[in-house]
Structure 1
Amino acid sequence: MTEKTYNVLFLCTGNSARSVMAEALITTMGQGRFKGFSAGSFPAGTVNPLAIEQIQTTDYPLTALRSKSWDEFAAADAPVMDFIITVCDNAAGEVCPVWPGHPVTTHWGFEDPAAVTGSDEAKRTAFHKVFREIMSCVNSFVSLPAHILEKNTIHQELKAIREQLN
């Protein structure tokens, strides 16, 4: 019997940094067990070059990166999501579309590295810090045993993953 592949949608307002990094991380770290997607409520239209620098350290194809609207994933022909995770506080507070399949939802808030001002080194440091935080959460998520991924128990596990870093 083949193990199920779980679809995970990461949401942020601009879909240019945090959600895109999370998409790449869960897809590569999930080793076929998870497929990552990302979108934004008000997509920036481009992926932040500093996010791309971080993603280059993974095996994720850079050609797959793009900033897109969450409306794509609410359409009838969109892949059905098993999990939806907001990664910025703005997106967590917005009224989301109705998602087909009633996925499990949670919020993992991360600071916005794209909002950091100053030198290029300060910006890179911020992106690296958030990338590592996302990686830690994703690592915990993809390590969950299959029985935990059932809808009855997963919501509490997902909330606890981000809270462990605080």
Structure 2
Amino acid sequence: MNVLFLCTGNSCRSILGEAIFNHLAPAGWKATSAGSHPTGQVHPRSLALLARLGISAAGYHSKSWNDLPTQPEIVITVCSSAAGETCPAYLGSVLRTHWGVEDPAHASGTDEEIDAAFMAAYRILRLRIEAFLALPLAELQRNETKLKAELDRIGTLTH
């Protein structure tokens, strides 16, 4: 099962989602990430945070949704509508859900405050991914309506 974490720039949130998911996912599940307008580079603070937490980001790079190696079955958008961001609409017959997360790339303040914004995005994504992977996935793969409802519910979790 292929999962796509999608945002606009593909430098922070979607990369974190991809890395966390692949770190935790069972065999047969794989995540990738992409952006509708990729920045072309992974934010250095995303890479530093993943390294500190012992999560591999080897081979991850900022890429366009036009350059995906496989067709996803599930697309999770992570743009924050609260910040007025417009999430890209992935075309194709896939299950779509939205897990809005504030973009830490726009955080300002001291180094500690900016690092805290990256950690907050990480924690929300990890919580949601753990909840996703705790679902009875084999059963839900046969019931797309129920899976979509569960993924939409998970997208509201914040702690």
TM-score when scaled to structure 1?
0.85
Q: Does 1:15 pair with 2:7? A: no
Query: What is the aligned counterpart of 1:115 among 103, 106, 128?
Result: 106
Between the aligned partners of 1:162 and 1:84, the Cα distance in structure 2 is 12
| Letter of the structure 1 residue corresponding to residue 43 of structure 2 | N
Instruction: Give the structure 2 partner of residue 149 of structure 1.
Output: 141
Residue 88 (str. 1) matches residue 83 (str. 2): no
- Aligned twin of 1:134: 125
Instruction: Return the letter of the residue paired with 2:117.
Output: A
Q: Does 1:65 align with 2:60?
A: yes
In structure 2, the residue matched to 1:164 is 157
- Whole-angstrom distance in 1 between the partners of 2:17 and 2:9: 14
Provide the residue aligned with 1:105 in structure 2. Answer: 96
* Deviation of the 1:65 alpha carbon: 1.3
CA deviation digits over 1:104-156, x for unaligned, max 9? 10100000111001111111011001101000000000111121233131110
CA apart distance, 1:91:
4.9
Query: Unmatched 5+ residue regions in structure 2?
Result: none
Aligned to 2:47: 52
Secondary structure of the structure 2 residue equivalent to 1:10? strand
Secondary structure at the residue paired with 2:155? Answer: helix
User: 1:164: how far off?
Assistant: 3.0
Q: 2:37 is paired with a residue of what secondary structure? A: coil
TM-aligned CA distance change 1:91 to 1:138, over 3 Å:
farther
TM-score by length of 2: 0.88
AA matched with 2:18: E
Aligned length: 152
Identity of aligned residues (%): 34
**Root-mean-square deviation over aligned CA pairs:** 1.6
**Separation in 2 of the partners of 1:26 and 1:95?**
21
C-alpha distance after superposition, 1:7-42 (max 9, x if no partner): 100001100000000001111111324211000011
Q: Which runs of 4+ in 1 moved over 6 A?
A: none
